[in-house]
Structure 1
Amino acid sequence: MKATVDWTGNASFRATSGTGHSVQLDGPPDRGGEDLGPRPMEMLLMGVGGCSSFDVVSILQKSRQDVTACHCELQAERADAVPSVFTSIHLHFVVTGRNLKEKQVERAVSLSADKYCSASIMLAAGGVKISHSHEIRAED
């Protein structure tokens, strides 16, 4: 896997993935940023949510659950001192579908947390406390 990051002025950078997708990153205004994009640590947090959400949906689909939506809310805490690393991250999944089984959703979230989500497992190995919760909503 490869990526590049190019400075575009002030506290702004263009990050490009090896597959050619780009995102504009920016620092906070009090540090020279112009609010042109997410902060790098926000991107890291969104990456954890994306990685785990991908797993949850994939596992549920493979277990023949009729998933129509998956929403992941993330809440992170960071250390007060520099480096201001993540100290904890909580992922809350809101899974919507028809006739979803509680055990299947619980299993999907657990498998992502314990076996498949490389991003959250890597951060947990580095000392970040990762927690998960979920709720199921019936499709109207």
Structure 2
Amino acid sequence: MNVSIRWAGEACFKGTSGAGNEVTMDGPPDHGGKDQGPRPMEMLLLGLGGCASFDVTSILQKARQDITGCVAEIEAERADAVPAVFTRIHIHFVISGNDLKEKQVRRAVELSAEKYCSASIMFSKAGVEVSHDFEIRSSSD
């Protein structure tokens, strides 16, 4: 896997994936940025959420669960000192569907957290307290 990051001036950077997809990262105005994209540390959380959501939805689809939506809401805390690393991350999944089985959803979240989500496991191994929970909503909600 290869990516490149190009400085675009001030506090703005353009990231390009190996597949050629581009994302803009920018700093806050008080650090010379213009809020043109997420902060680099937010990108880490976005990647974590994408990785975990991919796993959960894939596992549920393979279990023949009729999912219609998946939202990962992530809250994170950072150290007060430099480097301001993440110290705690919580992922709350909101899974929507028809006649979803709680046991299947719980198992999908657990498998993602403990076995499949490389990002979540990497954060855990780096000493970050990573927790997960979920709620199930009917598609009619």
Deviation at 1:29, TM superposition (A): 1.0
Provide the C-alpha distance between the structure 2 equivalents of 1:33 and 1:80, rounded to a whole number of angstroms.
Answer: 22
RMSD (Å) for aligned C-alpha atoms: 0.4
Provide the C-alpha distance between the structure 2 equivalents of 1:19 and 1:61, rounded to a whole number of angstroms.
Answer: 26
Matched, 1:39 2:39: yes
Task: Tell me which residue corresponds to 1:24.
Answer: 24
Structure 1 unaligned blocks of 5 or more:
none
String of CA shifts for 1:67-119, please: whole Å, max 9, x gaps: 00001100000000000000010000000000000000000000000000000
Deviation at 1:139, TM superposition (A): 1.3
Question: TM-score normalized by structure 2?
Answer: 0.98
Provide the C-alpha distance between the structure 1 equivalents of 2:100 and 2:127, rounded to a whole number of angstroms.
Answer: 33
Identity of aligned residues (%): 64
Task: Tell me which residue corresponds to 1:107.
Answer: 107
| Deviant stretches of 4+, over 4 Å | none
Task: Tell me which residue corresponds to 1:61.
Answer: 61
Q: Quick one: which amino acid aligns to residue 55 of structure 2?
A: D
Task: Tell me which residue corresponds to 1:96.
Answer: 96
Q: Quick one: which amino acid aligns to residue 34 of structure 2?
A: E
Provide the C-alpha distance between the structure 1 equivalents of 2:98 and 2:47, rounded to a whole number of angstroms.
Answer: 27
Task: Tell me which residue corresponds to 1:133.
Answer: 133
Task: Tell me which residue corresponds to 2:49.
Answer: 49
3-state SS in 2 of match to 1:9: coil
Question: TM-score normalized by structure 1?
Answer: 0.99
**How many equivalent pairs are there?**
140
Task: Tell me which residue corresponds to 1:118.
Answer: 118
